[in-house]
């Protein structure tokens, strides 16, 4: 009886030890991936909402548009990420108010932006409030915008373009799909040369993490 009890206890201890090793491996998997994959690339797409203030006596109304962007970045071990981003935004214009009259118009607003972003992955785990590996982040960027706006109607045409300094604020949260890829939900507030046009973008990003180019 004693031999059977000792044998059963030894078996249980071995099982507990093996299970602890498996859990430890799983817990550190994501950290190891981050440490060995500092470079990443992201594609992002979603809806672009504009708020257009009155300018030069002209007030326009737009439809919900789209945004598509791509970025390449580097992630440090402190949760800071530095990335370069290219983004395209486009919104169709459906109406204009000018000199006390309203017009139905055909036109669009579009922009091409080149941004340098600095993002910070908030260390929730070190604060004791991690939620299912969800990784929130915040940040901002500065860069250069090429913006175009065009509105036309019978007997009336308005066209303008600007190349100017641009800035943006970014917030969102990501979730690891597997060791090399993450999915994220992001919000971006962007403003360029037309200071009366404010862009609010909401969309989904897909990130792929590359291996380190230099292995020590």
Write out pLDDT tens, residues 79-116.
899 999 999 999 998 766 665 666 677 788 999 999 99
What is the pLDDT, as a whole number, of residue 20?
42
- With beta carbons less than 8 A apart as the criterion, state whether 44 and 52 touch: no
pTM, 2 dp: 0.74
> What is the per-residue pLDDT across 172-194, written as a single tens digit (0 to 9) for each?
999 998 878 999 999 999 998 88
Say if residue 12's pLDDT is above 90: no
What is the pLDDT, as a whole number, of residue 126?
66
């Amino acid at each position: 009886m004693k031999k059977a009890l000792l044998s059963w206890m030894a078996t249980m201890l071995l099982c507990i030890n093996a299970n602890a090793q498996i859990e430890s491996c799983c817990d550190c998997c994501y950290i190891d991936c981050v440490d060995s994959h500092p470079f990443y690339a992201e594609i992002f797409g979603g809806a672009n909402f504009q708020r257009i203030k009155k300018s030069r006596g002209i007030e326009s109304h737009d439809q919900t548009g789209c945004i598509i962007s791509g970025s390449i970045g580097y992630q440090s071990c402190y949760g800071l990420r530095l990335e370069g981003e290219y983004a395209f935004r486009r919104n169709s214009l459906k109406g204009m108010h000018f000199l006390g009259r309203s017009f139905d118009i055909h036109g669009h607003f579009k922009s091409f932006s080149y941004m340098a972003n600095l993002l910070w992955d908030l260390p929730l785990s070190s604060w004791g409030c991690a939620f299912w590996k969800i990784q929130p982040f915040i940040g901002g960027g500065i860069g250069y915008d090429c913006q175009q706006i065009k509105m036309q109607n019978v007997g009336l045409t308005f066209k303008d373009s600007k190349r100017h300094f641009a800035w943006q604020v970014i917030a969102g949260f990501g979730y690891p799909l597997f060791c090399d890829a993450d999915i994220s939900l992001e919000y971006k507030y962007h403003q360029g040369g037309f200071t009366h046009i404010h862009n609010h973008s909401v969309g989904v990003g897909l990130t792929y993490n590359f291996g380190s180019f230099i292995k020590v």
